[in-house]
Structure 1
Amino acid sequence: MQNEIAAIVRALRDLRGSAQEELAEISSQANLSRLEQGKTQVSLVKLSKIALSLDFDLVALVALCQALQDGSSPIDVMAKASKDLEGFIAEGGLQGLKRHWDAGEGLVKRTRGKPSSPDRIRAVLELKASGMSKAEVSRALGLPEATVRRYWLKDLPG
């Protein structure tokens, strides 16, 4: 998407009548020049700063990029994005998001590794009780041996 971003940033600068130097606080002129030539990738953080500096909505900028890449209309891209958002909300995505984002604190820390599955724990413990070794349980369930070892000493979930 480098080339699409390059074209859109150039078009926005043309519309705004702004020179690369006006974006100097975001990045060096050499980096901006490479960006506008499609020779470098840009982080979302930097793209957000560029959009803000050019007084243009980041979502609209990304929609324009997607439209150029797909050969579609930016309006169609935004309509699809709107449908995706509606689906996300309808499926309870906002409630899920609240588990991962605290309005006052930001990103909620998560525990390391995958969350334990009561069904997997039960399956491991049942095979253990049947006399299988950890390696056999690992092969039978398609679980990593480290996971089997972690579940091996647990109690059956309620």
Structure 2
Amino acid sequence: MQNEIAAIVRALRDLRGSAQEELAEISSQANLSRLEQGKTQVSLVKLSKIALTLDFDLVALVALCQALQDGSSPIDVMAKASQDLESFIALGGLQGLKKHWDAGAGLVKRTRGKPSSPDRIRAVLELKASGMSKAEVSRALGLPEATVRRYWLKDLPG
């Protein structure tokens, strides 16, 4: 999507009559030049700053990128995005989002690694009780030995 972003940033600057220097607070002249040549990737944070500096909505900028990539209309891209949002909301996505985002504190920290599976813990403990070693349990269940070691000392889930 580098080339699409390059074309859109150039087109926006042309529409605004802006020079690259106006984006100097965002990145060096050399980096902006590489961006506008499609020779470098840009982070979403930087893309957001570019959109803000050029007084253009970030979502509209991304829709233009997607439309160029797909060879479709930006209006069609936005309509699809609207459908995806409606589906996300209808499926309870906003409630699920609250689990991961605290309005006052931002991103909710999560525990490291994969969440423990009660079924996997039970399987490990049952094989342990049958007399298998950790290595044997690991092979039998297809679990990493580190996971088996972690579950080995747990209590049987209710």
Q: With structure 1 as the length reference, what TM-score do the two structures score?
A: 0.95
Among all aligned residue pairs of Structure 1 and Structure 2, give the percentage whose two residues are the same amino acid: 96
Report the alpha carbon displacement of residue 129 of structure 1 after superposing the two structures with TM: 1.4
Output the CA distance in 2 between the equivalents of 1:84 and 1:126. Answer: 43
List, as ranges, runs of 4+ consecutive aligned residues in structure 1 with deviation greater than 2 Å. none
Tell me, which stretches of 5 or more residues in structure 2 are unaligned?
none
Output the CA distance in 2 between the equivalents of 1:86 and 1:114. Answer: 29
Give the match's secondary structure for 1:14: helix
Report the alpha carbon displacement of residue 28 of structure 1 after superposing the two structures with TM: 1.6
Q: Deviations over 1:112-138 (max 9, x none)?
A: 111111111111111111222211111
Tell me, which stretches of 5 or more residues in structure 1 are unaligned?
none
- Any residues of structure 2 matched to 1:9-158 within 5 Å, and which? 9-158=9-158
Aligned length: 158
Report the alpha carbon displacement of residue 91 of structure 1 after superposing the two structures with TM: 2.0
Output the CA distance in 2 between the equivalents of 1:16 and 1:122. Answer: 63
Give the match's secondary structure for 1:143: coil
Report the alpha carbon displacement of residue 34 of structure 1 after superposing the two structures with TM: 1.1
Moved more, 72-81 or 86-95: 86-95
Report the alpha carbon displacement of residue 139 of structure 1 after superposing the two structures with TM: 1.3
Q: Deviations over 1:83-109 (max 9, x none)?
A: 221222222221221111111111111
Output the CA distance in 2 between the equivalents of 1:92 and 1:124. Answer: 34
